[in-house]
Chain A
Amino acid sequence: GENVEQHPSTLSVQEGDSAVIKCTYSDSASNYFPWYKQELGKGPQLIIDIRSNVGEKKDQRIAVTLNKTAKHFSLHITETQPEDSAVYFCAASGKDNFNKFYFGSGTKLNVKP
């Protein structure tokens, strides 16, 4: 099945700096790539997603880029704030014609005030 690798596992930045989290996937048939933010003790929440026919998508301070040839996609957070501190997961759709996702192992982002 699909294999999704995520780096780094932990990331510490100063408030106002940018943060970048990278993921690679193995199945070239994957066509949907969501990113989730999980705060302590809560379920993950979708923050941004991208489909394989798009190279980049932005939503205020958050952006996602996709390189289909290299099979990697990245989350970019600009002007980080303490409330951005959380665990972030990337995911890729499985090759089944169905919403079955494979998740990365997560990145714990710490934004220092």
Chain B
Amino acid sequence: DGGITQSPKYLFRKEGQNVTLSCEQNLNHDAMYWYRQDPGQGLRLIYYSQIVNDFQKGDIAEGYSVSREKKESFPLTVTSAQKNPTAFYLCASSGANYGYTFGSGTRLTVV
């Protein structure tokens, strides 16, 4: 079945540590996105990518980095520069029909 897979489901980060969240899709979608979700707030765009080897900052890119070396993969690194990383992170992809397909999310907690 086609879909989008995020891993891990839960992730714990120590102070000053970088962590990488995985996002893989087999939908043959060109565009991929990373969103952050905090309680009581909507989804805020971190980074997005329209094609391989190209990506743009979203509204809250500070403290995050991404890469897009393959069409299927769009990993997100939460760096030590991100001072408040505890949140639910959602990856999505979209093709020509406009709709987003979301992954099941990664819950990141600072310990």
**Least Cβ distance of A106 to chain B in Å?**
6
Residue A99, interface by CB 8 Å:
yes
Knowing A1-B59, A41-B105, A100-B45, say if A34 contacts B99 (CB, 8 Å). Answer: yes
Q: How many residues of B contact A (CB 8 A)?
A: 23
Q: Roughly how many angstroms separate A63 CA and B40 CA in the complex, as a whole number?
A: 25
Q: Is there contact, CB below 8 Å, between B48 and A43?
A: no
Contact A43 B40, CB 8 Å, known A32-B98, A49-B99: no
| B80 at the binding interface (Cβ < 8 Å) | no
Judged by a CB distance under 8 angstroms, whether B22 is at the interface is no
Cβ contact within 8 Å between A43 and B98:
no
The smallest C-beta distance from B45 to any residue of chain A, in angstroms, reads: 7
Known: A6-B42, A101-B100. 20 other contacts (CB 8 A): A1-B59, A4-B42, A32-B98, A36-B100, A41-B105, A43-B6, A43-B92, A43-B105, A44-B43, A44-B90, A44-B100, A89-B43, A93-B98, A99-B100, A100-B48, A103-B42, A103-B44, A105-B40, A106-B40, A106-B41
Q: Is A52 an interface residue (CB 8 A)?
A: no
Q: Are B42 and A42 in contact (CB under 8 A)?
A: no
Query: CB distance A105 to B90 under 8 Å?
Result: no
Contact with A along B92-107 (1 / 0, CB 8 A): 1010001111111100
Nearest CB in chain B to that of A9: its residue: B40
Neighbouring A residues of B104 by C-beta, 8 Å: 41-43
Interfacial chain A residues near B40, Cβ < 8 Å? 9, 105-106
Give Cα A79–Cα B35 distance, bound, in whole angstroms: 32
Asked if residues A99 and B42 are in contact (CB atoms below 8 Å), the reply is no
Please name all residues of chain B whose beta carbon is closer than 8 Å to the beta carbon of A44 when the two chains form the complex. Answer: 43, 90, 100, 102
Verify if B50 is at the interface (C-beta below 8 Å from A): yes
